[in-house]
Amino acid sequence: MSSKLIVKTDITDWRDECLRYEPTIRTVDDLVALVVDENRSTGEAARMAIVMRELGHAPDDILKPNKLLLHAGGRAEVAIKVSARKVQAEMPNGSTYSVREFVGIPGRGEGVASDVDVGQVAFEAEVQDAVTEAASGPHYVPSDSADGLMRAMNYLVNTIPGYIFERLKIIALAGGDVEAAADTLKEEIDRQVMQLTEPIGW
């Protein structure tokens, strides 16, 4: 039988940071309040929740087990590194743009723009665990392939509208003009399409 492999991480600095504030984290509502009421970053709140859980002052299920947190963070970091791979590609109008070299499966980091999206990628990576590898196909495909085209289209048609709808609901809730927001978005999409298709200097 092989020996165990255990990852040990020193989080003394997290503990010291946490104990300076002595947060109360007994429920998910307490955790959310750190972010929305006390203006803590999600990173601060996560560190505090981990520390308080390890000290026995927060419930075990306040966050996912450390192994899953480590896994999600690792997956997010790999997704960022893959998305950073770019190629220079000529567009239909002759202009040249930097484009991702590979296209991922939505839910596995596809759509991540930079490290600011790590949280979303980590979340999506865990959601993707519900999808079997056989059904998902290759993790990444070349952007200039038929599969790349299909994935890009599927992402625009099946994923982006959900994000848009969520923001439109927020605009409506806040008393904003939903139709005006949608019109502005359409104008921006039209502008981007023109950047790629209209003759240069047109």
Domain extent listing, the chain: 12-63, 68-197
Please determine, for residue 76, whether its predicted confidence score (pLDDT) is greater than 70. yes
Tens of pLDDT, residue by residue over 117-169, are 444 544 454 444 444 344 456 889 999 999 999 999 999 999 999 999 999 99
> How far is 24 from 59, CA to CA, in rounded Å?
11
pLDDT of residue 1: 61
Give CA angle at 100 (97, 103), nearest 5°: 140
Please determine, for residue 115, whether its predicted confidence score (pLDDT) is greater than 70. no
Where in the chain does DSSP place strands (E)? 86-90, 96-100, 102-104, 140-142
pLDDT of residue 136: 56
